[in-house]
Amino acid sequence: MAEFVRVEVAGGVATIRLDRPKMNALNIQTQRELAAAAREVDADPGVRAVVLYGGERVFAAGVDVKEMAGMSYADMASHSAALQDCFTAVAEIGKPVVAAVTGYALGGGCELALCADLRIAGEGARLGQPEIALGIIPGAGGTQRLPRLVGPARAKDLIFTGRHVDAAEALAIGLVDQVVPDTEVYPAAVTYAERFAAGPAVALRAAKQAVDQGLSTDLATGLEIERLHFSGLFATEDARTGLRAFTDKTKPTFTGR
C-alpha cells in the first residue's frame, strides 16, 4: 500500500494524487510510489486519461532537498538514474495526461508537470527550476523537457536565474496551457480528461507516441514513425468503427481495441 501517492479512478479518468504533507516534497519513497502509480494507470485498460494532482494548496515543491543534502557524488550517481526513471514512467503513460497545478510547482514539481501532455494552472500557481540556487541543475528532466516546451532561450532564463514565474507568465511563455481560478483547477483538469474517456484508446496512444518520439529525432525519421503508427491503426477495431461511422453519418462507439 502506497503511503504518499494514491490512484483514484472514476469514469475512465485516473487521478494520481500526491499526498506528502506539507509541500509534497518528492523523496525517494514518493518517487518510487509515483513510478508505480504511473505504470499502474498505463496498464489499466479501464483508464483512458490521467490527471496529476497535488491537492488544493500545492502541486509539488520539488525533490526532497534535505534528503539530497546527505548524498555524496557516489550516492547521487547511483540514484539519479532512478530519479529520471520515475519521471520517465509518468511521461511515457500511453494516455492523455493533464497536470492540475495549484500553488508551487518548483524544481522536481515543475519537472513532474512537464511530463504531462497539458498543464492547467491556478491563478495563484508559481512554477520554476530554482536548483541553481543550491549549486546544482535540474536532474529530473528540466534541462531537456523545458526547452522542448518553451524554447531554449526561455528555458535557460528560468534555469540560469532560478526565478519563479507566476501563472500569467507561465501561460504567456507556453509553460502552462490554461489558467483558471485556484478552486477550479482540479475540476477543469478532470473535465478536459473526461473527453477521452470514450475515445479511441489505441489511436490516442499512437498519437502521443508519434509526437513524443518524433520530437527526439529528425523530420524524416519522425515522418516514418508517424507512417508506421498511422498504417498500424488500420488493423484496429476502433479504426473500422470510426471510418464506418463517418460514412454512415453516425456517432462511433470505440472499444479501445
Active site residues: 111, 131
State the Cα–Cα distance between residues 224 and 253, nearest whole angstrom: 29
Q: How far apart are CA 64 and CA 229, in angstroms?
A: 39
For residues 35 and 65, the answer to whether their CB atoms sit within 8 Å is: no
Which residue in the block uniquely carries the three cell numbers 531537456? 144
> Residues 6 or more apart from 237 whose CB is under 8 A from it?
255, 257
| DSSP H stretches of helix in 115-151 | 142-150
173-177: long-range contacts, CB 8 A cutoff, minimum separation 24 = 174/149, 174/150, 175/119, 175/127, 175/146, 175/149, 175/150, 176/101, 176/113, 176/119, 176/120, 176/121, 176/125, 176/127, 177/118, 177/119, 177/120
67 membership: H or E segment, kind and range: helix 65-69
- Amino acid sitting at position 212: D
What is the C-alpha separation between 146 and 119, in angstroms, rounded? 13
Question: What Rg value do the Cα atoms of the chain yield, rounded?
Answer: 19
